[in-house]
Chain A
Amino acid sequence: MRGLVFDLAHLLAGSLVLVSFIQLYQDRLTALLNVFALHAVVLALSVAWQAFIQGAPHLIVTAVIALVFKGMLVPLALHRIIVRLGIHREIETVGGIGLTMLAGMGLVALSMVVMLKVTPGADPLAREDLAFALSVVLIGLLLMVTRRNAVSQVVGFMSLENGLVLAATGAKGMPFVIEISVAFSILIAFIVIGIFLFRIRERFDTVDVSALDRFGGGTRV
């Protein structure tokens, strides 16, 4: 039972990293949103498995929040937004896809090294989980940095949040308060950024954030 428990948790967390990589590869917004939905679903599975093996039923709630909000509602809403903005066929990346993927691998390696080094005494399950979670966070950040479009930056931000949830659930005994706060932070981020997108659209007729740079007021380097 112990081996199976470990392997399944490992598999799910690893899949989350894999889906993060798939996200990095997407250069169209529609596809990116679909992959993000998949990301949330995998997260929900992983959290549910953690709930099962830790015997912590409240984690099921977290899993459901992840599945419903991040796996369904948010991607659907973002789909509507990009259709309404007419940018669902846009292609936008900074730097080559291959290069970005290589950087992502570097980040995974880095988080492995860091995590295995700083947590020698911890439970091996938690250690691996934390390493994967850190990789997901870093890849989410990388996604935000390498995209020009505000919608894909939102997606990057939310997959970063997914990594945080993974880290939080991997550790035993996370109090319920934090899950609610995490869910709320995502909701708030979604609302704020949604408004933000429409404001940009109204103002500048595009959601390409480089349009803002003209108003940065100063020299660009």
Chain B
Amino acid sequence: MSLDLHAGFLVFALLLLALAAIPLAHTRRGPSIVYALAALIAAAAAVSAFLAAAGGTPLRVQLPLGLPSTGMRLRLDALSATFAFIVNMAATITSLYAVGYGRHEPEQGRCLPFYCLFLLGMNLVLVADDAFSFLLAWEFMSLSSWALVVVRHREEENRRAGLLYLTMASFGTLALLFAFGVLAGGAGAYAFDQIRARTLEPYAATLALVLALVGTGSKSGLVPLHAWLPPAHSAAPSHVSALMSGVMTKVAVYGFIRIVFDLLGAPEWWWGMLVLSLGGVTAVLGVLYALIQHDLKRLLAYHTVENIGIIYIGLGLALAFEAHRMTWAAALAATAALFHVFNHCVFKSLLFFGAGAVQTATGERDMEHLGGLIHRMPKTAFVFLVGCVAISALPPLNGFVSEWLTFQAILLSPDLPEWGLKFTVPAVGALLALSAALAAACFVKAFGITFLGRARTPAAERAEETDRFSLAAMFAFAALCLVAGILPGFFIDALAPAVTSMVGGRMPVQTALPWLSIVPIAESRSSYNGLLLFLFITFAACVAVYVIHQFASNAVRRAPAWDCGYPDASPATQYTAASFAQPIRRVYGTVIFRARERVEMPPPGEMRAARLTVDLRDLVWDWFYAPVVVAVTFVADLLNPLQFQTIRRYLALVFIALVSLLTVIAIWP
């Protein structure tokens, strides 16, 4: 399929669908039809992107739009085709989920058209081949997703989330604008081809790197630019949250890869260190934030921050290795990052679908009000468990493979010559290990409190299993988690063209190896075989079940739960999410969140209940955002009188501005 067909089809199909969605939104079956059509369009785009990724040669089109000298250039090379495949594959399944889930949305007219436009925006970012089209598509994506965040605009909290998101998105685009300005230089070479042909001064390249990091980091949720992400992702409807969290953050990662690996030229060694350290900090902080959340969607959103950190660790390693021309190591790190992009997209969307199903069934997002859902929603519980295992990086699912590959790349760090890297990389490895362990703890909490135990509220007691479209979408993603986990070799080989375009080399061909194992480095010390592990786990589990049932009891036994001296306990005596997180909060939270616990014991004789209060402060907010707010308020107060001037004073201001500019021209040397 040629690119003009791919892009043209997407643009026209999705725009038409967005237009058609406006009247259809008010009919009973309309939303389902729109989502089904969106799924078909995205599936066609995914197939086209897959063919393009396999095709090898980049496809190009130049349209007579956009900047006068540059035009609007589109290009689909291996890297963008890989991302386009991931985006459209996830969009297909998400639209399928939305066929069922979307019915519960009260404000269809505000959601449907922007959903189509959002899909279009993400696709356009991936094919843009000049700075102007890229920024245009990027902003299109931001604005349409903003409209989706404020779909439920009647709640104050959602409006605040929307404002915060809009501010951060504009800030990110501003940084990207400057980044492209630096890349294009004074001559205004905005086409990516022209940028590739330029060689930048070292300081300009560094500036562009930092700006690109800020610009794409604010969209993907790199600490400290992550503040908008949890409120925005939890405010949007769940299928949109899945897209924003699972897919849009990946488009931001694509933007970073495109600028830093493709446009910027040869990297310096310390760029890798910068990206790597930011990634490590992001991973740990993201998971710590997630641990203290009781809101299911917010918890998932903070985990997105963590996983973005893991992806950036991989990218930072790839940069560091590439700076030393260690192509095989760089290819390993880049493959790990791209594979994690795919994996995170799959399991995060799955988990958001599960959270959406729970929210529809119970009307609750707060885990403290859930519990026992495994009895009411067994299928949802099963797929959610698969997602939890995958995101906790447990074998044999996909999360393990990409994190294992990242660790393999980290283990290569002793070969790097700089002492700074020799010390930083293992430290980041420790952070990564810590975040993986904490993520597992966090998802034990998320699954256990939500689905196990007994219902904590009547709403949770009356929950119903979700509809079959949603289940089909969730099972599709769960199957992908399993397939990517036990057959990673195929995925690694499919990523090879994209990796080659990033770092100029690829990992050894994996599918040629016997027994479908993967070996990251040819003369390697380590290998992994997901299939064997899966078979072994299945076999061992079956044997264990058989043995237990045979020798312990082969009948289901019903006994009072939590019967520790309280035969008729209320559900409120169960372990809560807060109590689960308490030990970890005490260890890390005291420093990182300034967590303070206060116990109020009423004096003897008083009938009042005792209270335990926990105060948490977000230091990122206190240190980064509060000063900005203070500065902006100060400047706004200074400029406020300008709002209330007389006509003559406004004229005088114009006059003075004009005269001073002319004076500048007159005395400019």
Query: Is B665's CB under 8 angstroms from A209's CB?
Result: no
Query: Is B662's CB under 8 angstroms from A111's CB?
Result: yes
A213 and B646 in contact (CB under 8 A), knowing A141-B658, A145-B652?
yes
Contact mask for chain A residues 180-221; partner B; CB cutoff 8 A; 1 contact, 0 none = 000000000000000000000000000001101100111111
Any B CB within 8 A of the CB of A107: yes
Q: B residues engaging A (CB < 8 A)?
A: 641, 643-648, 651-652, 654-655, 658-659, 662-663, 665-666
Any B CB within 8 A of the CB of A110: yes
Enumerate the 10 nearest inter-chain pairs by beta-carbon distance, A residue then B residue, closest first: A218-B644, A113-B666, A145-B652, A216-B644, A213-B646, A221-B641, A114-B666, A141-B655, A145-B655, A145-B651
Any B CB within 8 A of the CB of A142: yes
Q: Which residues does chain A contribute within 8 Å of B647, judged by CB atoms? A: 153, 209, 212
Q: Give bound CA distance, A172 to B663, whole Å.
A: 27
Query: Is A144's CB under 8 angstroms from B641's CB?
Result: no
The secondary structure that dominates the B interface is helix
Query: Is A94's CB under 8 angstroms from B648's CB?
Result: yes
The chain B residue sitting closest to A156, CB to CB, is B651
Q: Which residues does chain A contribute within 8 Å of B665, judged by CB atoms? A: 114, 117-118
Query: Is A110's CB under 8 angstroms from B648's CB?
Result: no
Query: Is B646's CB under 8 angstroms from A212's CB?
Result: yes
Q: Give bound CA distance, A145 to B647, whole Å.
A: 9
A117 and B666 in contact (CB under 8 A), knowing A138-B659, A141-B658, A145-B655?
yes
B663 touches which of A110, A209, A216 (Cβ 8 Å) = A110
A111 to chain B, nearest CB (A): 7
Q: Which residues does chain A contribute within 8 Å of B651, judged by CB atoms? A: 141, 144-145, 153
Any B CB within 8 A of the CB of A28: no
Q: A residues engaging B (CB < 8 A)?
A: 94, 107, 110-111, 113-114, 117-118, 138, 141-142, 144-145, 147-148, 153, 209-210, 212-213, 216-221
Known: A110-B663, A141-B655, A216-B646. 20 other contacts (CB 8 A): A110-B666, A111-B662, A117-B666, A138-B659, A141-B654, A144-B648, A144-B655, A145-B648, A153-B647, A153-B651, A210-B648, A212-B646, A212-B647, A213-B646, A216-B644, A218-B641, A219-B641, A220-B644, A220-B646, A221-B641
Q: Give bound CA distance, A67 to B643, whole Å.
A: 39
The chain B residue sitting closest to A144, CB to CB, is B651
Q: Can you report 11 A-B residue pairs in the complex whose CB atoms are below 8 A from each other?
A: A110-B663, A110-B666, A114-B662, A138-B662, A144-B651, A145-B648, A145-B652, A210-B646, A216-B646, A218-B644, A220-B644
The chain B residue sitting closest to A94, CB to CB, is B648
Q: Give bound CA distance, A137 to B323, whole Å.
A: 59
Q: Give bound CA distance, A141 to B652, whole Å.
A: 8
The chain A residue sitting closest to B652, CB to CB, is A145
Q: Which residues does chain B contribute within 8 Å of A113, judged by CB atoms? A: 666
Q: Which residues does chain B contribute within 8 Å of A144, judged by CB atoms? A: 648, 651, 655
Query: Is B644's CB under 8 angstroms from A219's CB?
Result: yes
A38 to chain B, nearest CB (A): 24
Q: Give bound CA distance, A144 to B650, whole Å.
A: 11
Q: Which residues does chain A contribute within 8 Å of B652, judged by CB atoms? A: 145
A197 to chain B, nearest CB (A): 13
Q: Which residues does chain B contribute within 8 Å of A138, judged by CB atoms? A: 658-659, 662
Q: Give bound CA distance, A141 to B651, whole Å.
A: 8
A110 and B662 in contact (CB under 8 A), knowing A141-B655, A145-B652, A221-B641?
yes
B645 touches which of A94, A148, A216 (Cβ 8 Å) = A216
Query: Is A209's CB under 8 angstroms from B666's CB?
Result: no
Q: Which residues does chain A contribute within 8 Å of B655, judged by CB atoms? A: 141-142, 144-145
Q: Give bound CA distance, A118 to B662, whole Å.
A: 11
The chain B residue sitting closest to A213, CB to CB, is B646
The chain A residue sitting closest to B645, CB to CB, is A216
Q: Give bound CA distance, A221 to B652, whole Å.
A: 14
Q: Give bound CA distance, A113 to B652, whole Å.
A: 22
Q: Give bound CA distance, A141 to B656, whole Å.
A: 10
A184 to chain B, nearest CB (A): 23
A209 touches which of B641, B648, B659 (Cβ 8 Å) = B648
B648 to chain A, nearest CB (A): 6
Q: Which residues does chain B contribute within 8 Å of A210, judged by CB atoms? A: 646, 648
Q: Which residues does chain A contribute within 8 Å of B662, judged by CB atoms? A: 110-111, 114, 138
Query: Is A218's CB under 8 angstroms from B643's CB?
Result: yes
The chain A residue sitting closest to B666, CB to CB, is A113
Q: Which residues does chain B contribute within 8 Å of A218, judged by CB atoms? A: 641, 643-644
A211 to chain B, nearest CB (A): 10
B102 to chain A, nearest CB (A): 46
A86 to chain B, nearest CB (A): 22
Q: Which residues does chain B contribute within 8 Å of A148, judged by CB atoms? A: 648
Q: Which residues does chain B contribute within 8 Å of A216, judged by CB atoms? A: 644-646
Q: Give bound CA distance, A35 to B174, whole Å.
A: 51
Q: Which residues does chain A contribute within 8 Å of B658, judged by CB atoms? A: 138, 141
B51 to chain A, nearest CB (A): 52
B219 to chain A, nearest CB (A): 38
Q: Give bound CA distance, A178 to B305, whole Å.
A: 57
A206 to chain B, nearest CB (A): 14
The chain B residue sitting closest to A103, CB to CB, is B659
The chain A residue sitting closest to B664, CB to CB, is A114
Q: Which residues does chain A contribute within 8 Å of B666, judged by CB atoms? A: 110, 113-114, 117
A82 to chain B, nearest CB (A): 19
Q: Which residues does chain A contribute within 8 Å of B654, judged by CB atoms? A: 141
Q: Give bound CA distance, A216 to B643, whole Å.
A: 9
Q: Give bound CA distance, A175 to B599, whole Å.
A: 83
Q: Give bound CA distance, A154 to B647, whole Å.
A: 13
Q: Give bound CA distance, A144 to B651, whole Å.
A: 7
Q: Which has the most chain A C-beta neighbours within 10 Å: B641, B648, B663?
A: B648
A110 touches which of B641, B644, B646, B659 (Cβ 8 Å) = B659
B517 to chain A, nearest CB (A): 72
Q: Which residues does chain B contribute within 8 Å of A153, judged by CB atoms? A: 647-648, 651
Q: Give bound CA distance, A192 to B648, whole Å.
A: 18
Q: Which residues does chain A contribute within 8 Å of B645, judged by CB atoms? A: 216, 220-221
Q: Which residues does chain A contribute within 8 Å of B648, judged by CB atoms? A: 94, 144-145, 147-148, 153, 209-210
Q: Which residues does chain A contribute within 8 Å of B646, judged by CB atoms? A: 209-210, 212-213, 216, 220
